[in-house]
Structure 1
Amino acid sequence: MKKTIAYILISLMTVYQVLGQSRKMEEKFFPEPNIDIPTPAFQKAEWKGFTKYKEMVAYVTNLSKEVDYIVVDQIGESQKGKEIIRIRINKPSDQDKIKVWLQGGLHGNEPASTEGVLYILYTLINDSKYNILLDRLDITILPMANADGYNVQNRFSANGIDLNRDFIKLATPETNAIRKAFSEFSPQIAIDFHEYNPYRAHFNYFGEKGITTYYDAFFLYSNNLNVNSVIRKTTKDLLVANAKKALQENGRNVSDYSSTKMLKGHIHFNQGGSSPRSTSTNFALNNCLSVLMEIRGVNLKRISFKRRVQTTFIAGMSYLNTAYKNGDKIREAIKKANTLTARLSESVVIKQEKTTIKTDYTCIDLATEEKKTIEVIMTDGLQMKAKKTRERPFAYILLPEEEKAAQKLEILGCKVEQLPSDKTIQVEAYQVQKNAVSIVKWENIYLRRLKTEVTKTSKQFPKGSYIVYLSQEHANVVPPALEPENDNSFFTFRVIDGTFDVGSELPVYRYMIKQKI
């Protein structure tokens, strides 16, 4: 609750700052396109805000009711009982289709994401120029992933959790439902649409009156080193490259995603992302080409809203066109990634670090209302280096009491087996060397930090112990969850919990022999 209240206060201050800026300046750099968008928010007065949950449900139901290859259903419920709506578009075809996952509204205060996805849906159904894409694509759409937050334009879910920080620990019904549906669909391409805040607090330190961002769209695609290298390269060189080109051809300014933080009294820019708790990396760990789009818009209310929705639409259609035209290339890349995963050819990365660089950053000076370039210090997540690695095991074994962890691994797309009887197995065990617990909660959790040493041992495992083999297609998500030192592991988030005294043994083991148990 305290976190939510603090966020609301910061948002109100930012909104005051934004609305106090010159609309003329916004219109100069981000002019509205002269187009009609047939989605719910544009059918009502600006002061009435954005599409409400019931309006969204009625809209998608009406669009799909006369199209027999579109199914509208629900994958679960929000914390306040709203159905999480899913639209499946699978037109009959004899072609081998690429599966595409499109998602909007995961953060409830990012309205162009939902409106843009609804615009894509409308166009796929009603425009023959785009309807042809359905001959080669099987598309699942989640237009309003965080219905509770979206209905009141609040970033968080009803219990104050940031849903895009919850895709490893899976602490909310929304992320459990979304990730389970994602795993069952098993897409080759996944796009998660968001908006970002162009008037960040740290920007006030630059220039006479501060700066704001120059970019209509940011691209966030994972460079986590546990994501297969083929997946990383194909995502960047095919999906992202084509979408950047499409947006630039339509007069949009684009860049790779960056945020800011204060470090030792200096403002550092942080480029890229690599956290498995966020969709861009989490989905990519399943050997899926995954991108998180950030459109310039948080706290802008209805300023430049049509432009923001059109930007979302252009990017989304670019991804669909790329999938339509490059199906064989995408299938081949994923097949290669799955083969490398099955061969256990890449080490498990326990710790990774970003390169720190000095670089130019293009922005808008609020004093002069002109574009300018400043030099900034940036930690570059697009240049990630492995700091600590371990040999990739053939499997992880969990003791029977870790049922909750096993269930979450299944939701994350992995097959989990159980020992049919007691068995003695040669394994590597984690011996605790250091155990530290935070004194402040993060996402309602006192985070745990462990340091361990791996030792070889012969252990008697009881019947019902869980086995997760890393030769399966979606297995790259397992090491970030089970290696104790990872910042987003089940141990960090207390999914697997205990006293874990120094010298004790953790209830997860590494099986190194390359044959089934």
Structure 2
Amino acid sequence: MISTLLLSALLSLGNPGQDNPKFITPYEKGNGNQTATYDEAIGWYQQLDEAYEEVKMMPYGATDVGRPLHLVVVSTDKDFDPASIHQKNKRVLLIQNGIHPGEPEGIDATMMLVRDYLQDKKLRKQLDNVVLAIIPVYNIGGALNRNSHTRTNQNGPEEYGFRGNARNLDLNRDFIKTDSRNAQTFHQIFREWDPDVFMDNHTSNGADYQHVMTLIATQHNKLHPALAGYLNGKMVPTLYKGMEQDKFPMMPYMNHVGDTPEQGIIGFMESPRYATGYTALYHTIGFVPETHMLKPFKQRVQATYKLMENMIETVHHDADEIGKLRQQAKQQSLTQKQFAMDWKLDTTKVAKVPFLGYAAKYKPSEVSGHERLYYDRKEPYKTKLNYYDAFTPTITVEKPVAYIIPQAWREVIERLKLNKVEMQQLQRDTTITLDTYYITDYKTGQRPYEGHYLHTNVSVETKRMPRQFFKGDYVVYLNQPSNRFLVETLEPQAVDSYFNWNFFDSILMQKEYFSSYVFEDLAATYLKQNLELRQKLEARKKQDPEFAKSARAQLDFVYRNSPHYEYTYQMYPVGRLMQDVKLPL
């Protein structure tokens, strides 16, 4: 008969870390349906830091709720300097948890994962060339706002955090506009550690199906071609194969065309407001795991653990290849001339992906009496779905030599500094001839979105003109690692440009105007001196009867085409320097 002591030892081998009760996680102490609180998670990592020289937990900066944002680094050679780590040709895997604290699987799975990799020699070997950088809980304000009801569509845990942070911001929409202190601190972490691979753990909403895990990978059309080839051709297939072997067959994120998955699914085009859209600007391969909300919490935690395990193994195996491809992408982006600003789905390109679903059916609603959708779990099925994951650019711009940004736009300057953008300042007032955009059209949302009234469908007209700049204004050359970030934030037509996020809205309001009885005489004199404008005015009256009836409209026409009209109205203040000229820097 096996002794009680021996049996305990054998059991502990199946779950590394259980031999040290100090590092059993709050999740493991519970019933499989409980998640660690923020304080429990931070306290647990503090103890891990004290016990292992290979672990260092750093308070990096502020969050909106007043608690610091921590980064936990696991480095088996005890080197915690990001520059030194990259010089050693090690890969950095950044894992972020709790951006939506009601989706907490990553918080619990990562705690167990770190412990197991420290205590299991075989697993630990994979960290020889991989350093783990972990944000234990990103949305701290949301994590502290615990409840049991707001995740209506979700099966556990018993309590969880809230999606909005302390300012009720969805932090997964804040990576460009950076309204939160959380995002400001994230930029500091991200730019300092320059991760090669990024994971942001989530839980999905949507259809019901058999898969526990779905996955969003960085949209390959937005990555450098070399990285995109590796991602689609090797990395993603490896992860899918590993999860299949671990009995968690995976699907792409269920962004389906119709009400149910049968009509096909569309790849997620993440703009830079989202975590992986932002990280792609710096040639970091990003992933958003999305566990299925209706699966038991314990299964979701297990699936998240297994995916991170497969991710570490893949990054370890392909460490040199990932490093070389990223370096290639970084170098080539320095001289890249054209950048895409917006994209559309290419429906002519379609792949087939295996899918494990449940039959979608309809029955009368007990609430409304109308027909309602439900999924019949008694009728599982296996099929292949159309997968549309190719996007083509709709707007492309030529990269300027430099942007010149008047210092008055301090909110924009502050965000560039947070992203460690290299900038110089003019040392004296100077006139510079450069390209300037005029905003000719745009649409604005009628309801607020994350604290802003977003602009879309922006049209611009480019004018080459001399402009006065002042000592202290910023010159930002584009032969730097932040190229892509700069283009996607400073080009007004880009989806998540600072213009679209309302940082330049004051240019959209005219400041000066005219009184009709005063301008009448000036307009008449100006038309006598400008026969071409007179001809345009007469032509417009013939073409537009309403215009011909309105004396005010005709005066306005002359005003807008005269020197009296303010040239700064709808003039985008960021200048585009298209030729390299000597500036007083």
Q: Same fold (TM over 0.5)?
A: yes
Distance between the aligned counterparts of 1:425 and 1:438, measured in 2? 35
Matches within 5 A, 1:150-299: 150-151=143-144, 152=146, 153-197=161-205, 200=206, 203=207, 212-223=208-219, 225-260=221-256, 269-297=265-293
- What SS is found at the alignment partner of 2:574? strand
Matches within 5 A, 1:5-20: none
- What SS is found at the alignment partner of 2:42? helix
Distance between the aligned counterparts of 1:53 and 1:311, measured in 2? 22
Q: Does 1:133 align with 2:122?
A: no
**Per-residue deviation, 1:42:** 2.0
Give CA-to-partner distance per residue, 1:25-51, whole Å, 9 cap, x none.
xxxxxxxxx97884211212456x311
Distance between the aligned counterparts of 2:344 and 2:184, measured in 1? 29
Give CA-to-partner distance per residue, 1:162-201, whole Å, 9 cap, x none.
111110001111111112211111112212111212xx3x
Equivalent residue number for residue 41 of structure 2: 56
RCO higher in structure (CA 8 A, sep ≥6):
1
Matches within 5 A, 1:32-431: 38-45=24-31, 49-92=34-77, 95-151=88-144, 152=146, 153-197=161-205, 200=206, 203=207, 212-223=208-219, 225-260=221-256, 269-297=265-293, 300=294, 304-345=296-337, 347-356=338-347, 362-365=356-359, 366-367=375-376, 369-372=378-381, 380=388, 382-431=389-438
Q: Does 1:509 align with 2:517?
A: no
Distance between the aligned counterparts of 2:282 and 2:306, measured in 1? 26
Residue type of the alignment partner of 1:451: S
Distance between the aligned counterparts of 2:47 and 2:402, measured in 1? 48
Q: How many residues align?
A: 462
Distance between the aligned counterparts of 1:377 and 1:254, measured in 2? 15
Distance between the aligned counterparts of 1:476 and 1:364, measured in 2? 42
Question: Where does structure 1 lack aligned partners over 5 or more consecutive residues?
Answer: 1-33, 204-211
**Per-residue deviation, 1:322:** 2.1
Residue type of the alignment partner of 2:475: I
Distance between the aligned counterparts of 2:499 and 2:383, measured in 1? 41
Matches within 5 A, 1:441-460: 441-449=448-456, 450-460=458-468
* Structure 1 segments of 4+ aligned residues over 4 angstroms from their partners: 34-37, 260-263, 266-269, 357-362, 373-378, 514-517
Contact 1:399-1:461 at 8 Å conserved across structures: yes
Question: Where does structure 2 lack aligned partners over 5 or more consecutive residues?
Answer: 1-13, 19-23, 80-84, 147-160, 360-374, 511-568
Equivalent residue number for residue 469 of structure 2: 461
Give CA-to-partner distance per residue, 1:379-405, whole Å, 9 cap, x none.
x3x201011211122222211111211
- What SS is found at the alignment partner of 1:75? strand
Give CA-to-partner distance per residue, 1:292-342, whole Å, 9 cap, x none.
221223xx4xx5323222221221122222222222211210111011111
Contact 1:125-1:131 at 8 Å conserved across structures: yes
Contact 1:221-1:236 at 8 Å conserved across structures: no
RMSD over aligned Cα, in angstroms? 2.7
**More divergent stretch after superposition (245-254 vs 406-415):** 406-415
Give CA-to-partner distance per residue, 1:210-257, whole Å, 9 cap, x none.
xx1232222212227554233333333343222212111111121222
Distance between the aligned counterparts of 1:227 and 1:477, measured in 2? 13
Residue type of the alignment partner of 1:327: A
TM-score, structure 2 as length reference: 0.73
Residue type of the alignment partner of 2:445: S
